[in-house]
A and B are shown apart, each in its own frame.
Chain A
Amino acid sequence: MKVALFVPCYIDQFYPQVAIATLEVLEKLGASVSYPEKQTCCGQPMANAGFEDLTDPCNTIFIRQFSGFDYIVSPSGSCVLHIKDHLHSSANHEETSQIKKKVFELTEFLTDIVGVKHLNSKFYHKVGLHQSCHGQRGLKLSQMSELIAPDFSKPQDLLRMVEGLELIDLDRKDECCGFGGMFSVSEEAVSVKMGKDRVADHLQYGAEYITANDMSCLMHLEGILRRQKSPTKVIHIAEILNAGL
């Protein structure tokens, strides 16, 4: 199984440990992983700001870097969703549609493709799971509280396999954290208020760590936690799954 590691630009630059953990988890579970070294960004920051027409070069780079693999895996629901919904190329139609089919967020790849039923991971902490919207509502990694439909959660299934991990309940299990890309600065007041409210929900149930499938949400929540001088930390789900594996 030839897997390409797709690392979101801000993870590459600011959270390399998340990409390392993702790579190691995949390797430990038997995948042959390579990292196409000329990759940059999926283009989402521009597209969500209204400038999808500026993302053609990003699309070209992405298609060139990620063609020819069995799977493309990324520790980000948001970036994967962007590729699935918006990657386009007039020159490489076939490649583009292949990539859209082959790209997976890490936890869905582990549950749906690898079929993980058991993990040796160990993490002796109280953890709150933040459901990042694009992964949850876009990729349907977990059931959404708005729908009247059977409950399920791919990231939660994996976290439940981790020894010692105590998953806390939340009052609002799938409310947005307020990051939203450029929204985090253009609508600073609401963005921060949303983040503070999410943090408070996790803290009231004694979370030692807040985890998520998306580091962008966690970067925002971390900024708030650190400003509040809270001992609670953020950790990407890949890092938990890689702990003790």
Chain B
Amino acid sequence: MDTETTILDRKTSSDHATLADKFNLDEPRVDWHDKTLWFIRKKRDKAASQLQEWEQLRAVASDIKNNVLANLHTYLLAFERNAQQNGITVHWASDAAEHNKIVHKIIEKTGIKQVVKSKSMLTEECHLNAYLKTQGIEVIDTDLGERIVQLAGEPPSHIVLPCIHWKKEEIGELFSHHLGTPEGNSDPQFLTAAARIHLRQHFMSSRLAITGVNFAVAETGEIVVCTNEGNADLGVQLADVHIACVGIEKIIPLRKHLGVFLRLLARSATGQPITTYSSHFQKPRKGQEMHIVLVDNGRSKRLGSADFRNALKCIRCGACMNTCPVYRRSGGHSYHYAIAGPIGAILAPGLDMKKHADLPFASTLCGSCSNVCPVKIDIHDQLYKWRQLLAQNRKVGITKRVGANTMAYILSHHTLYTFAGTAGRWLMKYVPFIISNRFNPWYKQREMPKPPEHSFARWYHQNRNFK
């Protein structure tokens, strides 16, 4: 199958536009989804505006991350050394498969068959749960939102709010089916209590806990995990073995830098001044085993790209999703990647350009994402740059390519441009059905512009050119 056919085929199955089309079949639900996320954007605005130095904080955070990326090698080795001195076993994984194997090997040695895991987008990126399942190991996600989507057999639709696309009534139904709560009860407090009881059984029985990592401090060899539910702490404190999975870009040089990042993270993510728990794990308890898996999975390659490097500054706050007018109206699953929204759209093509060629086009380039980003990633500029790279690598569908070539040809010749304009206006006026029909996506829900008699150029020639 050649590339062109593949791209044409994908257009009809599972690209962003098609999935967004489906999402938009239920307009009241789109309205609800949009308003829910906009509410969080507003909360973020309010929380940010309470810090006079907000823009300065963003600039400092961006500088720290730029320094990290410029010296990543040094910081990683320092982190490894300090973590090892703290009694932590450090592993290096070059890609998702190696990461999954390392985690599996650690679990296998213990003979444990069921493990608890707090939120980690990295393990979503690596499809760890699915891999461990094939090895006969069950992973219980302990973040409430993640547990909900896990019970539903879905991936998260948002990196901070995994089940933001679920209504409470639907969660009530899901819990009634899986946890045996009374049918028709959708009281959030009741459902949360039910989930608490359910998860507590797993916390008590699981001897191995996996966590993600928000920040890995090079200076001290410690990791910091931010949660609102305390599920990372509970999992780790009750387990004999703790495995923390971390992308190599999550390094920060000094512990004091947390004073910048912790202030930005929760405010950007949910509008809270700080997450309920900011847990520092520096060394294993007596008798506990602690492992850290440092994962590359395409990050080094990205580091080598001047255009796309600074996407590695991301602290996974999700603010760009909450503000994105496209994300709010297409839903996280329309991005068909572990990380949705604008940041996902610039990360995903780096891993697989062909599979994610549609994502950089799922944007109007409005730029709101870059403005809310707490570490000042130029997200919308990178979307533009991905588009260029995708087109150069012939990963753009044939319709767009022919369209762009035709347009470029016409606009490169003034006479042809004038003729095409006149012809276009004539057609729209006298045979409008040629353009205004069901094959024209513009016309499906919008009227075409009313064609004027003449162009401005003609008017100017007649009215001003005498000068």
Contact = CB atoms under 8 A, between A and B. Distances in A.
Contact of A176 (B51, B364, B449, B459): B364
A181 B323 CA distance: 20
B24 A137 contact: no
Given A50-B404, A176-B325, A224-B446, A17 B452 contact: yes
Nearest to A193: B329
A133 B367 contact: yes
A186 B361 contact: yes
Interface in A51-78: 51-55, 57-58, 61
Interface in B7-41: 16-17, 20-21, 23-24, 27, 30, 34, 38
B387 interface: yes
Contacts of A180: 363-366
A9 B417 contact: yes
Given A146-B368, A148-B51, A37 B457 contact: yes
Interface string B375-404: 000000000100110111000100011011
A14 B366 contact: no
A45 B407 contact: yes
Nearest to B30: A193
Given A50-B388, A187-B16, A13 B371 contact: no
Contacts of A38: 414
| Chain A, interface residues (CB within 8 Å), range | 35 or more
B412 A57 contact: yes
Interface string A182-210: 11111111111111010000000000000
Contact of A146 (B52, B323, B390): B323
A49 B323 contact: no
B17 A186 contact: yes
A12, A15, A46, A186: most-surrounded residue (chain B CB, <10 A): A186
Nearest to A55: B408
B414 A61 contact: yes
Given A58-B412, A148-B48, A37 B460 contact: yes
A38 B418 CA distance: 10
A11 interface: yes
Contact of B21 (A47, A176, A183, A189): A189
A144 B45 CA distance: 11
Contacts of A145: 45
A155 interface: no
Interface in A204-235: 219-220, 222-224, 226-227
Contacts of A41: 411, 417
Interface string A130-167: 00011001100000111111000000000000000000
B455 A16 contact: yes
A220 to B, nearest CB: 7
A19 B456 contact: yes
Interface stretch (B136-144, B302-310, B437-445): B437-445
A50 B391 contact: yes
Nearest to A172: B38
Nearest to B41: A146
Interface in B426-467: 440-442, 444-449, 451-452, 454-461, 464-465, 467
A57 B412 CA distance: 5
Contact of A13 (B55, B362, B424): B424
B49 interface: yes
B421 interface: yes
A11 B23 CA distance: 34
A40 B442 contact: no
Contacts of A146: 45, 323, 368, 371-372
A137, A178, A189, A227: most-surrounded residue (chain B CB, <10 A): A189
A149 B38 CA distance: 20
A20 interface: yes
Nearest to A198: B325
Nearest to B44: A146
14 contacts: A12-B455, A35-B456, A46-B404, A49-B361, A49-B387, A133-B366, A178-B325, A179-B364, A183-B361, A188-B441, A188-B442, A190-B24, A190-B362, A193-B30
Interface of A: 7, 9, 11-17, 19-20, 23, 34-35, 37-41, 43, 45-55, 57-58, 61, 133-134, 137-138, 144-149, 172, 174-176, 178-195, 197, 219-220, 222-224, 226-227
Interface of B: 16-17, 20-21, 23-24, 27, 30, 34, 38, 45, 48-49, 51-52, 54-55, 323, 325-326, 329-330, 361-368, 370-372, 384, 387-388, 390-392, 396, 400-401, 403-405, 407-408, 411-414, 417, 421, 424-425, 440-442, 444-449, 451-452, 454-461, 464-465, 467
